[in-house]
Amino acid sequence: MRLSISDETYDYIVHLLNLNGEVMGEFIVDGNEMKIIKQSLSEGGDNCRVRPNFKDDDQAPEFIFHTHPFSCHSDIGHGWPSGGDLVATLKYARNGNKIHLVFDTTGIYSIQVIGDVSNNVNLKELARKLDKAPKDDTPECRDEYLKWVNDIGLFRVKFIEWKNSEFFII
């Protein structure tokens, strides 16, 4: 599926990236355009760790996003999805989520679970493994990180620069 972001949605995302703290929300795909329909699944306030307001056993929205605003880069050191983001995405996929987007100041990270979404995956063990991921805040390290995470075989994580107005997510 080819997905585009309207100017209106892009402007809204830029607004969210300028807030103090992460914001989580839901979007829909209308034709081939992404539209944010809820930004209130959770807000971090001035917290750089957002928590959803739906429980692990609730039906998760098909399309979820959250932000990694500039104000949080000093806390997390980089803008790509953290190990916690990936573990959460696996939990969401178990309950119906198809795509989790992370909007960062440099671009968009698209996360899909492609491996075993059953309860056979030990989340604590996965989190420990993900903590060993490359972490330097450089484009080269980002590419190394993406390869490293994708090689695990559970996720397909892509990075799309903001300058690209159209991208593939599925």
- Dist. CA 26–CA 41, nearest whole Å: 7
- Integer Cα distance of 24 and 101 in angstroms: 10
pLDDT digits (tens, 9 = 90+) for 37-64: 766 555 455 566 665 655 556 678 888 8
User: For residues 169 and 150, what is the distance between their CA atoms, to the nearest angstrom?
Assistant: 15
Q: What is the pTM of this model?
A: 0.85
Q: For position 83, what pLDDT does the model report?
A: 86
Copy the structure tokens of residue 127.
């989190």
More confident residue, 4 or 124: 124
Residue 66 token pair: 């959250």
Tell me the DSSP string of 12-79: HHHHHHTSSS-EEEEEEEETTEEEEEEEEEEE-TT-SS---SS-TTSPPPSEEEEEE-GGGHHHHSSS
Rama region for 44: left / alpha / beta (φ>0; ψ in -120 to 50; rest): alpha
User: Tens digit of pLDDT for each residue in 98-149?
Assistant: 889 999 888 899 999 997 777 788 888 888 888 888 777 677 888 898 999 9
Domain ranges of the chain: 2-168
